[in-house]
Structure 1
Amino acid sequence: MEAFVSRFVDRVTIHVAAGDGGNGCASVHREKFKPLGGPDGGNGGRGGDVRLVVDPGVHTLLDFHYRPNARASNGKPGRGSLRNGAIGEDLELAVPEGTVVLTPDGEVLADLVGAGTTFVAAHGGRGGLGNAALASKARKAPGFALLGEPGDELDLVLELKSVADVGLLGFPSAGKSSLISVLSAARPKIADYPFTTLAPNLGVVTAGETVFTVADVPGLIPGASEGRGLGLDFLRHIERCAVLVHVVDCATLEPGRDPLSDVDALEAELAQYTPALQAEHGGPDLASRPRLVVLNKVDVPEARELADLVRPDLQERGWPVFEVSTASREGLRELGYAMAAEVERYRAQLPPPEPARVVVRPTAVDDGGFTVEPDPQVEDAFVVRGEKPERWVRQTNFDNDEAVGFLADRLAKLGVEEELAKQGAQPGSQVTIGSMTFDWEPSTPAGVAAVMGRRGTDMRLEHNDRTSASDRKAARRARRTSLDEQGGYVEEVDEEDEE
């Protein structure tokens, strides 16, 4: 016996990663008779974004269930001759209409309704500047470039809420699937056992000149608002419905079941269920939605008698009541027109649609603020927090002394050095900015016009213990000379090494 596997997925957790920005290029223009023609390193390209786009041809989140990881392409690094790196290609993920984007903590980020609606789930990292863009009066030929920034990387929860005009509610095996199959061209699975419908079915119904959609919500039971049965997995599909229709099984043989108790039980569940849309966006609650009551299966004699008995009590609540039979098609025409009338009344209350407008959202400008706090884990250490300092650290190549000196100048100009001194930082105190920890040297004249040395170096940092480029070249020459004297191979020295 083959097990039934539901192909409808309406809640998934995905991991999205935008592309990293490309590194800037540190290059110097060289040609005959112009040994130092000035910096000409290009900028790195921006990383690609990850975008969620509403596609009318997509009806489920099944693809994300099998492929939950999505990554956009990285930006390309800059090159010499002022050539900027290529921008990373954006990644567009098609989602069905009615998709709600949330954080893992439940915060609503976007509610995607309408074909073509787009939400940028992850922003690509900015590309690093090349040395041509970093040139100034103090640094006419920078020997460094900035690194590209990493793109956003985060987890998101996608939740699908059906966009339908009418929602059919009822206990399992109440006949909702049969009703939608005779009202529309939908062909849901129909069987004589509970919970036949494990996924909402949508059908398009035409009544006169009105065309509307009907959602067959899987059967609800007492306790659904607390997660019993299919519970909250499908209660959210009725949040967007303009009209709610109670489908009551008048031919049930279960003890303790009757049309009035069934309706009261489902109304109690709806009252306890607080829609996320109402909580987050102030939309109307379910209690204000118009109701219709369908007394189903009246082709059975006992069911017709029971329907005649409970009809007055339901009408006293102000709800239109219809006696129908999906087997004999009795009462279906009147029911269809009643649904259409309620849908038209709801649509008439909506504001007129506005023409699509181009919305320009400029990138937020950094406020330049930062804080200096004592490190709670290390004694006499400090942590600097702020958008600019942390971004500058990510852009710095710490293998290049000139790049480190440039970072020191930027931090001093921002006021970080002065604030560290006010907080009581001493020479050698550990300072952490972002992911980097270093020893603070207040004697370093950061922010003051520095004496420029060789490209890639900084006179203020020459006391460091790192091996310089000239030392590495001298070591290579010594090894080559030693091999030559021992009868080994002789390798030509590059012109750059001879300079």
Structure 2
Amino acid sequence: MTTFVDRVELHVAAGNGGHGCASVHREKFKPLGGPDGGNGGRGGDVILVVDQSVTTLLDYHHSPHRKATNGQPGAGDNRSGKDGQDLVLPVPDGTVVLDKQGNVLADLVGQGTTFIAGQGGRGGLGNAALASARRKAPGFALLGEPGEARDVVMELKTVADVALVGYPSAGKSSLISVLSAAKPKIADYPFTTLVPNLGVVTAGSTVYTIADVPGLIPGASQGRGLGLEFLRHVERCSVLVHVLDTATLESDRDPVSDLDVIEEELRQYGGLDDRPRIVVLNKIDIPDGQDLADMIRPDLEARGYRVFAASAVARTGLKELSFALAEIIAEARAAKPVEEATRIVIRPKAVDDAGFSVAQEEDGLFRVRGEKPERWVRQTDFSNDEAVGYLADRLSRLGVEDQLMKAGARAGDGVAIGPEDNAVVFDWEPSMMAGAEMLGRRGEDHRLEAPRPAAQRRRDREAERDDAQREFDEFDPF
């Protein structure tokens, strides 16, 4: 059974926003109490948060689909719906979040670091919030927005100061077991270690972490063995330690050639050339191992390596090694720049940015793209004529009608608002521009206004009818 997973694909879905409520206050002796529909609640977010107690992505391997709760709809008497509950997902320290194309979305390092993987949908406004001096009694409310749904890839890159690299059975796990309190599985056959082991070492006043990379063999950077799967775990380290087996029983191997092979795999993997290297000649408790270590040590030192002879079994040479690593790590930590306070970068929009775009596609369809138009369409209940009129008002005020006319749109042309996979398509009529102004009176209840004489009401109706006919004739394509 798999107990360690360091790469998963996660399907997240944030909660949908609750719908607003269209309601009119009703009370004895107050038949026209006015709109009192409440707003819908916000949908819950899906949030990734670093938790030091979590060391693997195994939970998300078994349950890759995660969804936050939806916001509740509004109700009458100005009662707003309850917000959806955020879904908080703990992840290991060092988790990198990528999209399906491989672009890095977040690099989560440090306890409590968070990333919103899915944004909850906004709640729809109730008719009480939509009421204005012109629209005193709206007979509609806005719909809640759907929550963000997307697929992300999470990769775990172990946060360690020291990385032990070397051939299988070189003694990396044994070194970790004696340098720290870690208890990895140790046996005398290759690929005993199937997952990275992590231990904490204290050398004087310096405390650092040490990890091993299992399964490095020739071709590891191209996917052979287990190397490619775990090479990512050395990317954050400050120092690389080559563990060389001086007592190998394989006739076609020797410590120097092992070093060259592992260095070539690290070079092909890339990004590790600037890390300092240390060589540990392991298993010197065996007589032939000590002789071989003495023989090859001058050659390794001539290449510029700091060389340490050690034995995990006899526990010799470990103190010198641990303090040498502590010295390098302390220097690396001191060389790191001091972290600055988080700065917020404000990038204002250009003065000529309308917030949307209108373009004609090859099939003649006019497509409107923009955050506001697309959001307004999602919030509109198209089964309610008054809500459609309100949408027409908003689009007209934004300038969509003017831009469609400038782009060459004519009566009957198809207009789509939104992306290709989720767009609202309708036949455009130029009268919508004039109609939008008239639709500004949609939702008004003249019973809430001061009474007017019958003759005045008749003259007003005739004037409105004449204005509507004149505007219709002006834009009538026939």
TM-score by length of 2: 0.87
- Cα distance in 1 between the residues matched to 2:125 and 2:348: 19
Contact residue 402 and residue 455 of structure 1 kept, 8 A = no
Question: Does residue 305 in structure 1 map to residue 291 in structure 2?
Answer: yes
**Structure 2 residue aligned with 1:321:** 307
User: Contact conserved, 2:136 with 2:443, CA < 8 A, in 1?
Assistant: no
Q: Secondary structure, in 3 states, of the residue corresponding to 1:305?
A: helix
Deviation at 1:255, TM superposition (A): 2.9
Separation in structure 1 between the aligned mates of residue 172 and residue 120 of structure 2, nearest angstrom: 46
Distance 1:19 1:450 in 2: 33
Matched residue SS, 2:435: coil
Q: CA deviation digits over 1:176-214, x for unaligned, max 9?
A: 111111111111111111111110000111222322111
**Which 10-residue stretch deviates more, 150-159 or 413-422?**
413-422
* In 2: Cα distance, 1:390 partner to 1:307 partner: 70
- Sequence identity percentage: 65
Q: Which residue of 1 aligns with 2:258?
A: 262
Superposition RMSD in Å: 2.4
Query: Which residue of structure 1 lines up, in the alignment, with residue 458 of structure 2?
Result: none
1:472 matched residue in structure 2: none
Change in CA separation of 1:321 and 1:117 when aligned onto 2, cut-off 3 Å: same
Does the 8 A contact of 1:122 with 1:153 survive in 2?
Answer: yes
Does residue 423 of structure 2 align to residue 427 of structure 1?
Answer: no
Give the residue type in structure 1 aligned to 2:274: S
Contact 1:203 1:214 (8 Å CA) reproduced: yes
Tell me the residue number matched to 2:437.
448
Q: Does 1:439 align with 2:427?
A: yes
CA offset at residue 312 of structure 1? 0.3
Rounded Cα–Cα distance in structure 2 between residues aligned with 1:317 and 1:453: 84
1:129 deviates by 0.9
Aligned equivalent of 1:481 = none
Match of 2:278 in 1: 292
Runs of at least 5 residues in structure 1 that lack an aligned partner in the other structure = 275-284, 461-499
Which of 330, 350, 373 matches 2:316?
330
Deviation at 1:381, TM superposition (A): 2.8
Give the 3 Å change call, closer, same or farther, for CA 308–44 of structure 1 in structure 2.
same
Once the 2 structures are TM-superposed, how far is the Cα of residue 100 of structure 1 from its aligned partner? 0.6
Change (3 A) 1:454 1:82: closer
Q: Which whole-Å CA distance do the structure 2 matches of 1:240 and 1:353 have between them?
A: 17
Which residues in structure 2 correspond to 1:124-163 (within 5 Å)?
124-163=120-159
Within the alignment, does 1:345 sit opposite 2:331 as a pair?
yes
- Mapped to 1, the partners of 2:436 and 2:146 lie a distance apart of 27
Which of 352, 367, 370 pairs up with 1:386? 370
SS of the residue 1:447 aligns to: helix
Change in Cα spacing, 1:339 to 1:118, as seen in structure 2 (3 Å) is: same
Over 4 Å off, 4+ runs: 357-368, 451-456
Distance (whole Å) between structure 1 residues aligned to residue 74 and residue 443 of structure 2 = 23
Q: Determine helix, strand or coil for the equivalent of 1:260.
A: helix
Over 3 Å counting, the alpha-carbon distance change for 1:344 and 1:358 in structure 2 is: closer
**TM-score, length-normalised on structure 1?**
0.84
Q: How much does 1:454 deviate? A: 7.0
The farther-off stretch of 47-56 and 344-353 is: 344-353
- SS of 1:286's equivalent? coil
Tell me the distance in 2 between the aligned counterparts of 1:290 and 1:46.
51
| CA gap 1:362/1:81 in 2 versus in 1, 3 angstroms | farther
Q: Distance in 2 between matches of 1:417 and 1:130?
A: 26
How big is the shift at 1:346? 1.6
What amino acid sits opposite 1:389 in the alignment? P
2:309 and 2:317 in contact (8 A); partners too: yes
String of CA shifts for 1:78-134, please: whole Å, max 9, x gaps.
Answer: 111111111111110001101111111111111111111111111111111111111
Identify if the C-alpha distance between structure 1 residues 364 and 97 changes in structure 2 by more than 3 Å, giving closer, same or farther.
farther
Letter of the aligned partner of 2:304 in structure 1?
A: G
Alignment partner of 2:150: what SS?
strand
Give the aligned partner of residue 61 of structure 1: 57
Equivalent residue pairs, number? 441
Specify which of 219, 225, 242 is matched with residue 229 of structure 1: 225
Select which of 189, 196, 201 maps to 1:200: 196
The verdict on how the C-alpha distance between 1:82 and 1:222 changes in structure 2, with shifts beyond 3 A counting, is same
